[in-house]
């Protein structure tokens, strides 16, 4: 993969070009350092709501239909997504249409109108999206896990917000929030694929040079406070119990992150992983089971998730805790370590086959201000991880004063604290 090129415009906006001459498509992605962790409690959910509103019309393209029909007419795929730390808007099309999709995405980002009528209509859409997530326990349990770990602070709030807050948000709230966060120095434009060339850099400069400046609103620092295992059990009459079990870890800038990612792969990164073999193959208790190291700006998690048979949930929790402990107490064998590294690297490479995935890969690095590493450079760091580094990193994290559990299932008066210990 070609080494990306990074440019900084006079107004502070950053442009990343990732030329891939053999690629038949080009992706344009505009990302901003503005997500749910930048919100106050009174406007929780606004970052995501604002993302929706950017598709509802600009002065140049007054309606949602104008935007959608133009992108559809260019044969584009397009969407947006909001996380805790950022919001991104993107479009992907054949190389000949790269300039046109940049025009549309830049216009959506720069000039949303926030018409009262559209805000009122979109409230209903957002609330239905929240209802959909509430009816999707496999997804909802991850939000509950954040709630139990971080509590009543931005890192513990749902990205989508609460319905009662969504119903109250005003046009002024959108304008005020956008003026504090949608600033050039907090914005990254990533162009990846067959047309990621200097001509696109010039277009990006023309489109974004007029962004208004200002002082960027800060993200509140996440507070870490825990003395003993904690849980959140949510009753729902479902056919399968869903759980997330894990430990507070460290942030994405920590040098131990590659060791933790290899550890997560060993635990739940594939069908040969320890948790898959134990929970699915041996216990026959789950269809899906996985583990991950989810690291952010100032906090992180080392966790596993599974959908399990109600009657076997205790067995699964105990088995998972045993495997977490074993990863910190026993040295991983050379063969298992090599397999995990190859699995991790192989999945990374395969996830970057499209220009949209390549764009996301570099945009995320730039949003986190990590410096730009190629997949090959990341692979080199993964391959350098030793068994002792994994054991050391896991041992520092897998402790009772970092342990948390979230469960959605048919449990009205059930606690798992009696088995929640390592």
Q: Report the helix count and the strand count for the chain, using DSSP H and E.
A: 15, 11
Which class for 82: exposed (0-12), middle (13-18), buried (19 or more C-beta within 10 A)? buried
Task: Spell out the domain ranges in the chain.
Answer: 5-208, 230-409
**What pLDDT, on the 0 to 100 scale, is given for residue 388?**
98
**What pLDDT, on the 0 to 100 scale, is given for residue 172?**
98
Q: Is 189 helix (H, G, I), strand (E, B) or coil?
A: strand
Any idea which architecture 230-409 has in CATH?
A: 2-Layer Sandwich (3.30)
Q: How far apart are CA 109 and CA 414, in angstroms?
A: 47
C-beta of residue 57 within 8 angstroms of C-beta of residue 5: no
CATH number for the domain whose boundaries are 5-208: 3.30.830.10
Positions in the chain short of pLDDT 50: none
**What pLDDT, on the 0 to 100 scale, is given for residue 324?**
98
CATH fold match for the domains 5-208 and 230-409: yes
Pull the structure tokens for residue 101. 């999709």
For the entire predicted model, the pTM comes to: 0.96
Q: For 215, list phi and psi in degrees, rounded to 5.
A: -85, 130
C-beta of residue 227 within 8 angstroms of C-beta of residue 401: yes
Catalytic residues: 51
- Rg of the Cα atoms in the chain: 22
Widest CA span of the chain, in angstroms? Answer: 63
Rounded to 10 deg, the angle between the 46-53 and 171-181 helix axes is: 100
Model confidence over 19-51: pLDDT tens digits? 999 999 999 999 999 999 999 999 999 999 999
From edge to edge, which strands make up the β-sheet containing 87-94?
A: 5-8, 14-19, 187-193, 25-32, 87-94, 77-82
Which residues, 6 or more positions from 87, have their beta carbon under 8 angstroms from its beta carbon? 31, 32, 34, 35, 47, 48, 50, 51, 80, 81
């Amino acid at each position: 993969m070609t080494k990306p090129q990074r440019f900084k415009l006079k107004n502070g906006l950053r442009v990343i070009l990732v030329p891939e001459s053999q690629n038949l498509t080009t992706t344009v992605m505009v990302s901003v350092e503005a997500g749910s962790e930048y919100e106050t409690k009174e406007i929780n959910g606004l970052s995501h709501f604002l993302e929706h509103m950017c598709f509802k019309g600009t002065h140049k393209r007054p309606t949602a239909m104008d935007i959608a029909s133009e992108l559809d007419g260019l044969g584009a795929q397009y969407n947006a997504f909001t996380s805790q730390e950022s919001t991104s808007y993107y479009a992907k099309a054949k190389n000949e249409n790269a300039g046109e999709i940049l025009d549309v995405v830049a216009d959506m980002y720069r000039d949303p109108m926030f018409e009262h009528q559209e805000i009122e209509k979109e409230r209903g859409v957002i609330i239905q999206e929240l209802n959909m997530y509430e009816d999707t326990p496999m997804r909802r349990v991850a939000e509950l896990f954040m709630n139990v770990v971080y509590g009543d602070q931005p890192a513990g709030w749902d990205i989508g917000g609460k319905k009662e807050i969504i119903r109250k948000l005003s046009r002024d709230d959108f304008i005020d929030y956008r003026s504090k966060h949608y600033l050039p120095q907090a914005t990254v434009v990533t162009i990846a694929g067959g047309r990621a060339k200097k001509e696109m850099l010039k277009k990006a400069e023309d489109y974004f040079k007029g962004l208004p400046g200002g002082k960027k609103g800060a993200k509140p620092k996440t507070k870490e406070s825990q003395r003993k295992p904690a849980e959140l059990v949510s009753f729902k009459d479902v056919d399968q119990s869903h759980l997330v079990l894990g430990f507070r870890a460290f942030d994405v800038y920590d040098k131990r992150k590659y060791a933790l990612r290899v550890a997560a792969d060993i635990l739940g990164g594939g069908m040969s992983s320890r948790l898959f073999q134990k929970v699915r193959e041996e216990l026959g208790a789950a269809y899906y089971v996985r583990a991950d190291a989810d690291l952010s700006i100032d906090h992180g998690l080392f966790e596993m998730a599974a959908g399990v048979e109600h009657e076997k949930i205790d067995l699964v929790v105990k088995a998972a805790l045993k495997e977490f402990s074993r990863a910190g107490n026993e040295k991983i064998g050379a063969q298992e370590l090599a397999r995990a590294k190859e699995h991790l690297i192989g999945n990374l490479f395969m996830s970057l086959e499209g220009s949209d995935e390549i764009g996301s890969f570099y945009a995320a690095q730039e949003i986190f201000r990590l410096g730009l590493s190629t997949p090959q450079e990341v692979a080199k760091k993964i391959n350098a991880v030793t068994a002792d580094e994994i054991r050391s990193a896991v041992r520092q994290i897998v402790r009772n004063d970092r342990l948390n559990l979230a469960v959605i299932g048919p449990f009205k008066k059930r606690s798992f604290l009696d088995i929640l210990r390592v």
